[in-house]
Copies of this chain bind each other. A is one copy, B any other.
Amino acid sequence: MNLKQLSETLGLSQTTVSRALNGYPEVAEATRRKVLEAAQAHNYRPNARAKSLATGRSMAIGHVIPVSAKHEMVNPIFADFVAGAGEAYLQHGFDMVLSLVPDDGEEAAYRELAAKRSVDGIIVHGPRTDDERIAMLRDIGLPFVVHGRMSRHADDYDWVDVNNLRAFYRATEFLLDLGHRRIALINGLVSMDFAARRLDGYTQALATRGIAPDPDLIRSDEMTEAYGYRSAGEMLDLADPPSAFLCSSIIAALGVRRAIEARGLAMARDVSIITHDDDLSYLSNRGEVPIFTATRSSVRDAGRLCAERVISLVQNPVQPAQQVLLEADLTVGQSTGPAPARTARDT
C-alpha cells in the first residue's frame, strides 16, 4: 500500500493525504481523521526511501567504527554506548547505521557516507591525539559529534567527553594519599586521545609528589582482560613491583585482579587497584561496597548525549559548537587500601 493507492481508496489527492498525515494545517479535521483511520486500517507507512529522497532527510545517524587487527572498537564499552545512543534515536524516530570500516579507509568511509547521503549526521568514535578528521568532517558538511576529543584541535566542534585528565589525576592522588609510591598505569592505546589524557593526569599527580613516572610501570594497549592479566603479572614479577594499579577499564582491571590473586596476593591488602569504570550494565561495579575503587562515568549516558546532540544539529545545523565535559565520580570500593609496609630494599 503506497500513498497513491491510499489516496485513491479515499478519493482524495496524494497531496491532501500527505498533508493530512504530516499534520499540515490546510486540511479539514474531518478529512484528516478519515485519512488517519484509513492509513491505520491499511497499515500504511510512507516508504522511507522515497520520503528521504523527497525531503532530503534520511532520519538516520551513522556511526563509523574503524576495525583493524590491532584495534577493536566493537567492544563491551561500545555496546553500552550504543545502548545509550539507541535510546535517544528511538525517542526521536531516528535509525542507527553502523559501518565498520577498515582502519586505513576511514576517511574514504566518511566521504562515502556523506556522498551517499544515507545518514543525516555522524558520530565519531575513537578520536586519536593526532586526529585530522575534523577538517575533513567539516569539509563534507554533515553534522557530527565526537565521542571524546582531539587534542590537537581547538574546541570548535561538538564533543562529549569525560574529564579523563582530572579523573586519573584524582585517582593517582588517592593512591598517593594511601601511601603508594610504585603505582602502575594499565592504560588504553596511547594513540587514543582519552588514553593520552589519562597518562597526563597520572604523570601530573605523580609530579606533585616529586615522583618520576617509571616506564616499567606504564603499559598501553587494547583494554582486554588478557592484557590486564599479562601486564600486571609481568609487573608484579619485577624486582621492585608496584603496590597499586591504575587501570583504564574495568575489563582490564579484572585481568589485573586475576594476576594479583594468581600470585597469592590479596587485593587491597597487598596490592591496590583503582580503575576507570564505564558503568557497563553487564559488568556493574555498584552495590553496597563496589568491588573496585573507581572513577565512574557512564558511557551509556555519553552515548545518549552524543545522539541527542547530533539530532539537535540535524534539526538545526546553525548552532555554536557545544562541548560536554562529564566529571567522573571517584567511588571507593574494596580494591584499595594503604600501601603495605615497604621492604628494606624499597627505601
Contact = CB atoms under 8 A, between A and B. Distances in A.
Given A43-B115, A115-B43, A74 B65 contact: no
A97 interface: yes
Interface stretch (A150-158, A269-277, A280-288): A280-288
A49 interface: yes
**Chain A interface secondary structure, helix, strand, loop or mixed?**
mixed
B46 A116 contact: yes
A192 to B, nearest CB: 15
A139 B82 CA distance: 30
Contact of A95 (B46, B53, B97): B97
Interface in A37-70: 43-50, 52-53, 58, 60, 65, 67
Number of copies: 2
Interface in A20-38: none
A170 interface: no
A254 interface: yes
Most chain-B CB neighbours within 10 Å: which of A87, A116, A258, A261?
A: A116
A50 B48 contact: no
Given A49-B58, A52-B49, A281 B83 contact: no
30 contacts: A44-B115, A45-B116, A46-B116, A47-B53, A48-B118, A49-B53, A49-B58, A50-B53, A65-B86, A72-B281, A74-B82, A76-B282, A76-B283, A78-B79, A82-B98, A83-B100, A86-B99, A90-B100, A95-B97, A95-B98, A95-B118, A96-B97, A96-B98, A97-B98, A224-B282, A225-B283, A225-B284, A226-B284, A254-B254, A258-B291
